[in-house]
Amino acid sequence: MTSQITHLLRYPVKGLAGQQLAETWLEKDQRLAGDRLYAACHTPDTRQEETGWRPKTAFWQVYNSPALAALDCQFSADGTGLQLPAPEKCNKGPAVRQMDLTHTAGRQQLARFLSSFLTSEETSKTGRDNPELQIIRCSEGGFTDVRKPYISIASQASVAQLCGAAGVAADYRRFRMNIWLDGLPAFAELDWVGKRLRLGRAELEIAETVGRCAATHANPHTGQTDCDLVRLSGQLYGHSQLGVYARVISAGMVRPGDQAELL
């Protein structure tokens, strides 16, 4: 079975928008380079700006702050530079704040921005005023939802079918995956566990399916919760899985347009 890569993304800051990539090198037994390298931790410890992997419950992100889904942001080519709009403008107007996340000052600036953004009446559903947070860097490759160094992959057809049943636009951004494929039947990827997949010049082993969470309920255009895809998936299919995690077993370059071949 063959398909084609349509989108290749990483998320330099966990919970913020993804960065479209023209190409990337997949290294053996590693996450996608630069993916979830930074995160907004809600238990600040200024003595520790870098830490090992932590679970997603340690961070501010879309599942607990859906407004983040619609926050307009642009990353530099290496993913360490970030532009964001002024909090009062949200997604209106050009990005006006530039931050270098490789430096403490840049991470502190982002922390102040997000604290203001999450506090605003229009965007925060947390019930907390002036949320404390700290931008920290992962010393183990990335704050992905699972500790193992996996790449996430999903089919566009799976999104189209589930979102169609929910009556919302089929927007892959709800699901925050690294690699999107076209040309597959809906949910075909769930049957790949234990099999090998060639992507471009890399080869991966499919390790497990991806369980979805409330982050998928946030509309990427509005930052508002507009459906319950987890509940609907359970009703329709008896599970809430969409996409798979894969381990890179042979390194190689991948690009949108490359073929994906199940071996």
For the chain, which residues make up each domain, given as ranges? 2-33+145-262, 38-138
**89-144 residue pLDDT tens:** 454 444 557 899 999 999 999 998 888 888 764 444 545 555 678 999 999 899 99
Write down the mean pLDDT value for the chain: 90
Residues 26, 150 contacting (CB under 8 angstroms): no
Give the three-state DSSP class for 230.
helix
Quote the CA–CA distance of 88 and 55 in Å, as a whole number: 31
Residues ≥6 apart with Cβ < 8 Å to 187? 155, 157, 158, 161, 237, 241, 242
Alpha carbon distance 197, 186 (integer Å): 17
Mean pLDDT of 146-167: 97
Assigned token pair, 183: 């040309």
Cα separation, 255 vs 167, whole angstroms: 31
Rounded Cα–Cα distance for residues 64 and 87 (Å): 19
Between 191 and 86, the more confident residue is: 191
How far, in Å, CA of 261 to CA of 263, rounded? 6
How do beta strands 134-138 and 50-51 pair? parallel
Q: Which numeric CATH code is attached to 2-33+145-262? A: 2.40.33.20
pLDDT value at position 124? 44
pLDDT exceeds cutoff 70 at 241: yes
DSSP for 99-138, written as a single string = EETTSHHHHHHHHHHHHHHHHSTTT--S--SS---EEEEE
pLDDT tens by residue, 42-73: 877 766 789 999 999 999 999 888 989 988 88
Q: Cα–Cα distance between 80 and 67 in angstroms, integer?
A: 22
CA distance 177 to 11: 9
Tell me: pLDDT of 39 over 70. Answer: yes
d(CA 134, CA 38): 10
Task: Quote the CA–CA distance of 231 and 18 in Å, as a whole number.
Answer: 25
**Residue among 119, 75, 72, 123 at smallest CA distance from 98:** 75
pLDDT digits (tens, 9 = 90+) for 137-148: 999 899 999 999
Give the integer Cα–Cα distance in Å for 143 and 42.
14
Cα–Cα distance between 179 and 10 in angstroms, integer?
Answer: 9
Euclidean distance between the first and final Cα of the chain, in Å?
8
